[in-house]
Each structure stands twice: as structure tokens, then as C-alpha cells.
Amino acid sequence: MPIYALGDREPIIHPDSYVHPDATVIGDVTLHAHASVWPQAVLRGDYGGIQVGARTSVQDGTVVHCTEFHPTLIGANCVIGHNVHIEGATVGDGCLIASGSVLLNGSVVEEGAILGAGAVMSFNGHIPTRRMALGVPARIREGYEVPPDSWAEIVDKYVENIKAYKAGLRRLD
Ligand SMILES: CC(C)(COP(=O)(O)OP(=O)(O)OC[C@H]1O[C@@H](n2cnc3c(N)ncnc32)[C@H](O)[C@@H]1OP(=O)(O)O)[C@@H](O)C(=O)NCCC(=O)NCCS
């Protein structure tokens, strides 16, 4: 599995977390307990740091980067879907950053909020606690509050996946 140090910047990977062999982790990246990183995801902590909270999944094809001015801080119990791009942003606990969405520099997604599939949140965007933003550019859906713990089942499933993949993944080629 390609996990790289870059000079003094070295990943800190909790032993109970999981990085799929086809994911790439570089530099100042911290994965907390039961966090998981899936095939073709890239977490590149070269200009600054990246944190992935406990039980958060970073799914296939997602790119997480950071800038000199903005680290990327992802909280616990989040679902970061397939083909997401996060660059120098902060994501609170229990958020869904849905498939194909883009979250750019200085943006903040507060606890329990959603960035919908395919949405683009530009520089310094903000989604308040348990609100949902959709579209390009992303706009808050008025009058809607995300129910608490909406993603608990998916979060649990990905924690189970860690065990299953550690025990059962076999490369056949
Ligand atoms: C954002 C999301 C959670 C909304 O789901 P929902 O609350 O069930 O929304 P609904 O399907 O009831 O749609 C509500 C409205 O929002 C619109 N809408 C829903 N998702 C949208 C999206 N991603 N972008 C733009 N509009 C969207 C619908 O068209 C509908 O509009 P209307 O009220 O004008 O008819 C869902 O679309 C989504 O993005 N799921 C992501 C799943 C994912 O990425 N999983 C990760 C892998 S595990």
C-alpha cells in the first residue's frame, strides 16, 4: 500500500484504521481509530496537514488535499463518498460529503450537515449544523434540517468493512 513520508511529514495511521492497498497516503496525514481509506483515494499532506476522524470513511476515488493556509480537518463518524474532492476545508463530526462533490479552500461544514452529490462549495463556503447544501454553486436547502445520526448505518458498515477487508482481501493477479 503506497504510504509515503515527505521529508519530516510522516503519516500517523492508527492500527485500527484501514488503508486499502490501492489508496495513496502522503505526508502529514493522521488517520484516527477505525477511519478507512478506499481504492484510488489520495490523501496528500504535503503543504499542510490532513486529519481523518475516528470511524470516518474516505471512499473510492476521493482526493483530499490541503493548502499552506488551510489544513483539511475531517471529523469523526463522517461519510466522505466516492469521487469527492476536498481541499483545505473543515468538516465537522457526523457529516455526509456526498459522491462527486467538491469542497474548496477555507470552507466549513458544521456537525451533521450534508454537501449533496455533485455539489460544488467554493472558497470559504459554510454549511451550518445539520443543514444541507445542494447544487452548483452549492446553496442551502431552506426549511430542511438533517435528522441526527443519519449516517450511523453507513458509518457502522464501513467499520465492519475494515474487519472484512483486513481478514479477507486477496489479490489474485
Ligand atoms: C443530498 C441527498 C442526501 C438528498 O437526499 P433526499 O433528502 O432524499 O432528497 P430528495 O431525493 O427527497 O430530493 C429533495 C429535493 O432536492 C433535490 N436534490 C436531491 N439531491 C440533490 C443533489 N444531489 N443535487 C441537487 N438537487 C438535489 C431533488 O431534486 C428534490 O428537489 P425538489 O424538492 O425540487 O423536487 C442525496 O441526493 C445525496 O446526495 N445522496 C448521496 C449519497 C452518497 O453520496 N452516498 C455516499 C456513498 S455511501
Amino acid at 109: V
Residue 123 lies inside a defined structural domain of this protein:
yes
* pLDDT value, residue 113: 98
CB 92 within 8 A of CB 109: yes
Distance 99 CA to ligand 1 centre (A): 11
Nearest CA to ligand 1 atom 36: 116
**Residue 117, amino acid:** A
Q: Does residue 54 lie within any of the structural domains?
A: yes
Instruction: Provide the domain limits for residue 20.
Output: 3-168
Pocket test for ligand 1, best of 134, 146, 160 (most atoms within 8 A of CB): 134
Q: How far is the CA of 119 from the centre of ligand 1 (A)?
A: 10
> CATH number for the domain including 108?
2.160.10.10
135 C-alpha to ligand 1 centroid (Å): 10
Residue 160: the pLDDT is 98
Q: What is the pLDDT of residues 116-163, one digit of tens each?
A: 999 999 999 999 999 999 999 999 999 999 999 999 999 999 999 999
Total count of domains within the chain: 1
For residue 96, the model assigns a pLDDT of: 98
Amino acid at the residue 160: E
> Which atom of ligand 1 lies nearest, measured to the CA of 132?
1
pTM metric for this prediction: 0.96
72 falls within a domain: yes
Q: Where does the chain show beta strands of DSSP type E? A: 3-4, 12-13, 18-19, 24-31, 36-37, 42-52, 57-58, 63-65, 72-74, 79-80, 85-87, 90-91, 96-97, 102-103, 108-109, 114-115, 120-121, 126-127, 132-134, 139-140
What tens digit of pLDDT does each residue of 25-83 get? Answer: 999 999 999 999 999 999 999 999 999 999 999 999 999 999 999 999 999 999 999 99
Provide the pLDDT for residue 114. Answer: 98
Give pLDDT, residue 14. 98
Q: Using CA atoms, how far apart are residues 144 and 109, in angstroms rounded to an integer?
A: 16
